[in-house]
Amino acid sequence: MNYSQIVQSVLQEHKQVLTDVDEREIDRLLEAITKAGCIQVFGMGRMKCAARAFIMRLMHMGFNAHIVFDTTCPSIGKGDLLIVNGACTGVSYFVMELAKKAGAEVCAITAHPESKWGKLCDFTVRLKGQVNPGTAGEIPSIQPMAALFEQTVFVFEDIVIQMLMAKTGITAEQMALRHTNLDGYMEFNKE
């Protein structure tokens, strides 16, 4: 396949995964985020990259949001929300168990809500992108391993941010005021 063919295939995969999400599950996620005292997101590997981007935007919106295991991450408990990207490793299961024990609400963004990880959750959001090639219930990908799932989690969480902006009335301009001012970004092209 050449570049153009790969682009078309990957875009079609993303469209299929993202348009197949149950909007009731998204509504439940939006509600949980807006009512949570503290939001913590867990992911491993490439799913953690998406988690970091999501947490950054939640922070820009003014939410009390953290990455699990970061040095500034507080304790979790009743009234808080844990979101797990992928929810398919032993470590993620352990984190989910501890959050449940502490009284937090637990959500997994997962291809397999029927799994033991999904069953541990208060609710799930299903993204059917390929995690393990050839596994039933997943949208197959030309990409290796869990690339499709990892990429669509990133895009899905950015879409959730836009939906939260609409729900809360928070503007991009308000979010920009919470962006770090130590990187010079806000001064870009002003000279």
Residue 52: predicted pLDDT: 97
Q: Residue range 89-106: average pLDDT?
A: 97
Residue 99: predicted pLDDT: 98
Catalytic positions are 150
- In the predicted model, is pLDDT for residue 93 greater than 90? yes
**Residue 68, CA distances (Å) to 17, 31, 76, 92, 133 in order:** 26, 21, 10, 10, 28
What is the model's pTM? Answer: 0.94
- In the predicted model, is pLDDT for residue 7 greater than 70? yes
Q: Please, which pLDDT band fits residue 191 given cuts at 50, 70 and 90?
A: low
Question: In this predicted structure, which of 6-10, 57-61, 120-124, 185-189 has the lowest mean pLDDT?
Answer: 185-189
Q: Residue range 66-77: average pLDDT?
A: 97
- In the predicted model, is pLDDT for residue 15 greater than 80? yes
In the chain, what's the furthest Cα-to-Cα distance? Answer: 55
- In the predicted model, is pLDDT for residue 81 greater than 80? yes
Residue 182: predicted pLDDT: 84
Question: In this predicted structure, which of 11-15, 33-37, 130-134 has the lowest mean pLDDT?
Answer: 130-134
Q: What is the number of H-type helices and E-type strands within the chain?
A: 7, 5
Question: In this predicted structure, which of 24-33, 34-43, 129-138 has the lowest mean pLDDT?
Answer: 129-138
Residue among 22, 69, 14 at smallest CA distance from 43: 69
Residue 107: predicted pLDDT: 98
